[in-house]
Structure 1
Amino acid sequence: MTDPTDLVADGWEPILAAALLGAGRAPPAAPGPLADLVTESDPGSALLARLALHGIHHLAGLDLAPGAMEPLAVRETAGPECPPAAANRLHALLTGGHAGRERLREWFDLAASLQVRPPAWLHQALMLQAGNLPESAGAVIGPDLAWLAAACGGEQDGPSADAPADWTEGSLPERRAAFAAFRARDPDGARTALEAVFRKEKAETRTALVGALWTGLSDADGPFLETCLDDRAAGVREAAQRLLPRLPRSLFASRMAVRATAALVIESKARLLRSTTHELVVTLPQESPTLARDGVAPNAWEQRGGGIRAGLLRDILAAAPLHAFSGHPPRLWIELALRSEWAEPILRGLFSAVARDGDPAWTTQIADGLAEAYEGKLSGIRRTNELLRRWVEAIDLLPGPEWEARVTGLIHARKIEVVLAMLEKGPDAFSERFSAVVIDWLAFVIRGSENLRRDLAKPWLIARLGERLWPGEDIAATAGALGARLPKDEGHDRLRQQVTTLAETLELRVAIRREFQQ
């Protein structure tokens, strides 16, 4: 019996070298099973035959020693396969370009909720698109792709359900992910471990790891982040400046509260008949090294075009804790700010602080105050497009259900211009009930006057609603019928295009859900 190791005695590389020397100078073939297959008498033909035989032998992998082939671990299935129609849809999404890939997240979200996975025949396409798969794909197909990558002798490049365990080793993204996982398990322990080695790390590593303190952030992180404000690396300082405003009981918050209360003061004066008037007194801050240390400094545009002190006021208010304004109700602060000559920086700063803290009293009272201002119920305040924009931003701070309730009220009040502005913001996904209200409202506007249809088409809003409306059968059917209600003339091409895109998007999303039920 032939020893298997003899198969590599006259391998691909020696034959290739012989071919480079030429037939006349090439050494004779070594004895073996492959040499016995060469029967050509001409030296040149014999060399070409040897080259062909060993080339096939090389490509087939037969020159590997028997011990080099190690069996892979058995692949354990992660759940039942999805229906064939859903698998075909996934294949179309993987190969259908950018528009198809936008639906991948929705497909994998549904698969994860139903605990099903793609069949094996899709694994190759999934491996090719591993870098483009959504995060939710890790729970659905991550183990299969990891097994397949190991079978191919490579590493998985795509979503994975597991994060690296050791945050002190690996690439910078791997270390950051591992440290964030450490923070999720033990926030104080992770911070303590980081402090022990922090000064030995490179600047880019320190920046990434400080940014990862976002996970599990608490007031206990305040002292360490305070030291980061004096780090020699600008990235570390900026990372700490982004996190500290979220700690309302930190030293940073105390400094900002003092600065905010020095910049804005409400003076109250008693009048006859027990009435009291209020006036907002604004003192614009000055530049200083201590302000710059806390991240409050003029940006490049403000340095060139002026407005430096107004920008400092805005940034101080944005970083200040909301308890700095607790001496008066939020509604009064907003009303007085609207009447101030410094309304723009004050409102922008307060909006940033409210968006950061998510305080329910502030969000509700800001929304109420701006609604009354736009509707002309507050004296001395004119209705402007800027005021409408502020109102839209205020409503957008509310939780999704409350936002939907307020916009539903505006829809029932037939405030077309305001509703269009509101729909530019709001949740990424609407509830089924609100989606039905919106689609009925669209039908009403399309049946209305020429001016209403023109207003509806201007912001290119309708097509984007297909991504946010609830993908229900009835809603999709109503969307499909909207185009038939448009007049048959060229003046409605823009609106017709948007309505068509809306209907097609909803129809596709409904079809994806239907296929998972087959």
Structure 2
Amino acid sequence: MAWRELVTCALLGTERQAPSVAGDEDALGQVLGRLDEDDREGALLRAAGVVALWRRAGRRLADDPQSPPPPCEPDAAPGCGRLACQHLALLLQGHDSELLPEWLEALGAAGRRVPEEWLPALLDVGAKQTALRPALLPVLGRRGHWLARHNSDWSYAIGTIDETIWQTGRFEERLALLHQLRAFQPERGRELLAATWGEELVRHRREFILVLATGLNPADEPLLEIALDDRNSEVARAAADLLARLPQSRLSRELTARALRLLRFQPAGLLKRDRLEADLPEDEPVLRRDGITDPPSNVKLGEKAWRLSQIVAATPPATWCREWRRTPAEILAASRDCEWRHALLDGWVLATQRHRDADWAEALLPLHPDHATLTATLADVLPPARFEAYVLTLLREASGGGRASALVVLSHVERLWSVELSRAVLEQVRQRIRQDKQPDWWLASALRGFARWLPPEFSEEAAAGWPTESRQWSQWETAVNEFLDRLRFRRAMREAIAQ
């Protein structure tokens, strides 16, 4: 009340209302009572300062009748050393923060854990960055999981599976539990969700459905079919996407049959090459139920072409090779003159991602060499050895176009390299500098990113052989030094953890 009265007096002005400095008999009142009431302006300012300081000073904490929680059991795994902690501090402060997952994975591989003083900061980061959790959870130790039980924001890291959370927990805690169950007991996770599906809030249903992507299996189809009829279009689309990943689902089988009716392969004849013809589907209620509705606003395809792409996207790519007895590359070549080729390519890319078809991914990659999202998506489908073989083939081409394309592809893909690929890439960059070429700014920027994927023990070899005598070296020097510094930091980071 004292603060409100002072604010009112200040708004009205001390000429119209004198500040009330007559306090109670407590300590604050005794201080206010010593102010000079004749000096209205001075009394108001001094009283405001006293009350503001008193408000900041807080109050005596109330006694908590509850007993403290039982202490955490000691950790069996050792923590990392002082130098490794210094590297962690740099990463958390934003210095090469992209290397944090690597630091955590190296810590786990060394059989160590995060020291106690760094647990709150890392648990906060894990709460915001879900992609970090697979590397973070194994190195939290017992203390980290113990802390997570006492902060709802960290519930994702509780560790133990407590199914009572599904009935009593907050949405974030229930979502974390479903993630855990789908990773280790997918059937049980589905059973819990199915039991409460009708009671879940609409804004939560999509998040729950998306979790079913982990451990997705044919037994999930009945629940996904129920979600397909959800009034919320986002929930229905998420369910349709998962059903399209199940080749034997009702949705996938029906859309595959429809796709085979829409596309026709015309074999080569005299003076003609293979070609592909396509019909556009009409809008039908059955298609809308299966998630093929109006195209999003950012899609450039027309409505019918969009429907065609989505029907193709729900068809396992191997279907076309089996039906037409052609390789993916031959089918893509046959589609070259098709009026609806862009719609078909969009559908094939999504189908390749859904069904992890490496043959189609390798055939589609040359068509999207400089599309950051599509390149990364298709490269992720390829096994590491097959992806490296593809890139090395490009790097060894006689034409400069293939070598440049390989570097562009690598700039979009986040994946560790072998020593062989590392040598080939660095030699290509050195060759560009020897040719006295002006630096391509995208390559100078990509070079720093490349430092994340080379083997750290390769740092000494990577530092040698740069053409510093080149006329253009001064324009490349900063980018090369940043690349080497980052590679050395990764090596030092790993060595500190191993000590």
Q: Given the two structures, how large is their TM-score scaled by the length of structure 1?
A: 0.73
- In the TM superposition, 1:270-349 aligns within 5 A as 278-301=274-297, 307-322=302-317, 324-325=319-320, 326-328=322-324, 329=326, 330-349=328-347
In structure 2, what is the equivalent of residue 101 of structure 1? 97
Q: Which amino acid is 1:212 matched to?
A: V
Shift of 1:385: 8.1
d(CA) in 1 for partners of 2:459 and 2:424? 13
How far off is 1:103 after superposition? Answer: 2.8
Match of 1:40 in 2: none
CA distance in 1, matches of 2:147, 2:182: 31
CA distance in 2, matches of 1:306, 1:501: 42
Is 2:73 the partner of 1:86?
no
CA contact (8 A) 1:79 1:116 kept: yes
Code of the aligned partner of 1:173? E
In 2, distance between residues paired with 1:454 and 1:81?
A: 44
CA contact (8 A) 2:156 2:176 kept: no
**Offset of residue 354 of structure 1:** 1.5
Within 5 Å, give how 1:68-467 maps onto structure 2.
72-73=70-71, 75-94=73-92, 97-119=93-115, 123=117, 125-133=118-126, 134-135=132-133, 136-147=135-146, 157=154, 160=157, 162=159, 164-166=161-163, 167-268=166-267, 278-301=274-297, 307-322=302-317, 324-325=319-320, 326-328=322-324, 329=326, 330-364=328-362, 366=363, 397-414=381-398, 415=400, 416-447=403-434, 449-451=435-437, 453-455=438-440, 460-467=445-452
Deviation at 1:492, TM superposition (A): 5.1
State the distance in 2 between where 1:457 and 1:253 align. Answer: 41
Relative to structure 1, the CA distance from residue 512 to residue 356 in structure 2 (aligned partners, 3 Å threshold; closer, same or farther) is same
Q: Secondary structure at the match of 1:239?
A: helix
User: SS in structure 1 opposite 2:193?
Assistant: helix
When residues 89 and 130 of structure 1 are mapped into structure 2, their CA distance, relative to the original with a 3 A threshold, is same
- Matched-pair contact (CA < 8 Å) for 2:81–2:496: yes
Match of 1:477 among 460, 464, 467: 460
User: In structure 2, how many angstroms separate the alpha carbons of the residues matched to 1:75 and 1:176?
Assistant: 27
What's the CA shift for 1:253? 0.8
Tell me what 1:381 maps to: none
RMSD: 3.9
- Which amino acid is 2:98 matched to? E
Q: Which amino acid aligns with 1:292?
A: R
CA contact (8 A) 2:318 2:357 kept: no
Residue 499 of structure 1 corresponds to 480
Q: Structure 2: 5+ residue runs without aligned partners?
A: 1-23, 34-53, 127-131
Corresponding residue for residue 509 of structure 1: 490
1:414-433 CA-to-partner distances (Å, cap 9, x unmatched) read 53322223323344221233
Instruction: Please state how far the C-alpha of 1:109 moved relative to its aligned partner.
Output: 1.3
- Partner Cα separation in structure 1 for residue 214 and residue 369 of structure 2: 39
**Residues 189-234 of structure 1, C-alpha deviations (whole Å, 9 max, x = no match):** 4434433332122212332322222222112222332222211222
Decide whether the 8 Å contact of 2:152 with 2:173 is kept in 1: no
Determine what percentage of the aligned residue pairs are the same residue: 25
Please tell me the residue identity of whatever aligns with 2:407.
L
Contact 2:227/2:235 (<8 A) preserved: yes
Q: Write the distance in 1 (CA, Å) between the matches of 2:235 and 2:268.
A: 47
- 1:281-319: CA deviations, max 9, x gaps? 21122223322222223324478x663222222221112
User: Where does residue 33 of structure 1 map in the other structure?
Assistant: none
Displacement after TM superposition at 1:131 (Å): 0.9
Q: After TM superposition, give the deviation of residue 401 of structure 1 in Å.
A: 1.0
Q: Is 2:301–2:343's contact at 8 Å kept on the other side of the alignment?
A: no
Using a 3 Å threshold, how does the CA distance of structure 1 residues 19 and 84 change in structure 2: closer, same or farther? closer
Structure 1 contact 139–160 (Cα < 8 Å) conserved: no
Distance 2:486 2:31 in 1: 66
CA displacement at 1:479 relative to structure 2: 3.8
Matched residue SS, 1:281:
strand
1-side partners of 2:70 and 2:407: how far apart? 58
Query: Cα–Cα, structure 1 residues 286 and 516, in superposed 2: closer, same or farther, change >3 Å?
Result: same
Distance in 1 between residues matched to 2:493 and 2:214, nearest whole Å: 34
Q: 1:159 to 1:482 in 2, by over 3 A?
A: farther
Whose Rg is larger?
Answer: 1
8 Å contact 1:219–1:249 — kept in the other structure?
Answer: yes
Unaligned runs of 5+ in 1: 1-15, 26-51, 375-383
